[in-house]
Amino acid sequence: MVHPPDRVIAYLRYFPSESGSRERLGVRYQKVYDLSARAKLLRKRWPQYLYRDPIFNRQFQAVPLGDITKHYLPTDKLTQLRRAKGPDNLQQAAIDLTGILAKEARVPVSKIGVSGSILVDLHRSKSDLDIVLYGASIARKCYRGLQRLLSARSDGFHPYTKKELYSLYVQRKQRASMPFEAFVRHERPKLLQGKFTGIDYFIRCVREWDECKEDYGDKRYQPAGRATVRAMIGDDTDSIFTPCSYRLINLESSRRRPEPSQIVSLRGRFCEQAHKHERVRARGTLERVVDGRRAESRLIIGEHPRDYLMVVG
């Protein structure tokens, strides 16, 4: 994600609330998950953190640089946990998972971080493990390591069962976008999510800053309406990263709209969703991207509850 020069695009996850079920330093916090619920809450209580960007031509949740008091770094948090005396059970699970993965993939543990509720000390005993891998090479090595660990069902790693996938289906409120059996077909083969010693984990792969070549303002973006497209995946090289992207070929779409050359999502749930040579159907928001004299269109998925990306055979 390219950030504007005067603020950081960041989405609300926890907010102070006397009725909240999480507590840190004597303050109770409530978690908000749904994107629309986050925006609604900000409009009501903290509208200064809703921002319409002139380059992306859309509204974001963003924090002005002057309002930032602390930057939580997932890599620093993991280092802190590894040095801590007496980590709790969830923290120990994060230490164990990252240690096993680093060893299996033969990567430095310094390139792995812990995010989510553990990062900000708002986790509970039944919280998830949110792991971040930094750098394309590190991510690919760890991805192959995960494949070996899950195939062997070793060191506590297990893919989701169908029953566990149903819980995930309900949690994500995906009834509006796809039937459960289709959800199972897409989610069961994924490696970046599953169970580690009985605890849910999700692993996010992000590129290092020096691997991101675009500066703010290099391109301009213009939403072009909602669309459903059918196409074949021509390239899934970046399907494991956040943002994830899929290059499209053999597109079947309405001539009344610009034809997207790729599908892009900032949501981790759309990682590993489709593979090269598979035919897919997708619903999202068309966006025109202008880079100097060159322009292309892409389909953004994950901003609306009814967005989806499905393999259709």
What pLDDT is attached to residue 252?
Answer: 87
Choose between 83 and 153: higher pLDDT: 83
- In the chain, what are the domains? 7-67 (no CATH), 74-209 (no CATH), 215-311 (2.40.50)
* Mean pLDDT to the nearest integer, 288-309: 93
The pLDDT of residue 258 is 73
β partners of residue 63? 8
Report pLDDT digits (tens) over 274-287: 999 999 999 999 99
Q: What is the pLDDT of residues 175-187, one digit of tens each?
A: 888 999 999 999 9
Give the pLDDT of residue 253. Answer: 63
Please give the full DSSP string across 91-139, using - where no structure is assigned.
Answer: HHHHHHHHHHHHHHHT--GGGEEE-HHHHTT---TT--EEEEEESHHHH
Name the pLDDT band for 128 (thresholds 50, 70, 90). Answer: very high
Using the predicted structure, report yes or no on whether residue 47 has a pLDDT greater than 60: yes
pLDDT for residue 264 = 98
pLDDT tens string 238-297: 999 999 999 999 998 655 567 899 999 999 999 999 999 999 999 999 999 999 889 999
- Would the pLDDT of 161 be above 90? yes
For the segment 51-73, the average pLDDT, to the nearest whole number, is 96
Q: What percent of the chain has pLDDT over 70?
A: 98
- Binning pLDDT at 50, 70 and 90, where does residue 231 land? very high
**Both tokens assigned to 169:** 């289906």
Which of 132, 91, 92, 82 has the alpha carbon at shortest distance from 111? 132
Q: Are 135 and 210 in contact (CB under 8 A)?
A: no
Cα torsion at 20, 23, 27, 32 (round to 10°)?
-40
Mean pLDDT of the chain: 94
- How far is residue 150 from each of residues 125, 190, 194, measured CA to CA in Å? 24, 10, 9
* pLDDT average, residue stretch 101-127: 97
Position 167, amino acid: S
In this predicted model, what pLDDT tens digit does every residue of 18-34 receive, in sequence order?
Answer: 999 999 999 999 999 88
Average pLDDT over residues 48-63: 95
Mean pLDDT of 214-220: 94
In the predicted model, what is the mean pLDDT of residues 136-149? Answer: 97
Q: Output the pLDDT for position 177.
A: 85
- In sequence order, what are the beta bridge partners of 176? none
Q: What residues are paired with 100 via a beta bridge?
A: none
* 259: CB partners within 8 A, 6+ apart: 229, 251, 253, 297
Is the pLDDT score of 44 beyond 90? yes
pLDDT band of residue 17 (cuts 50, 70, 90) is: very high
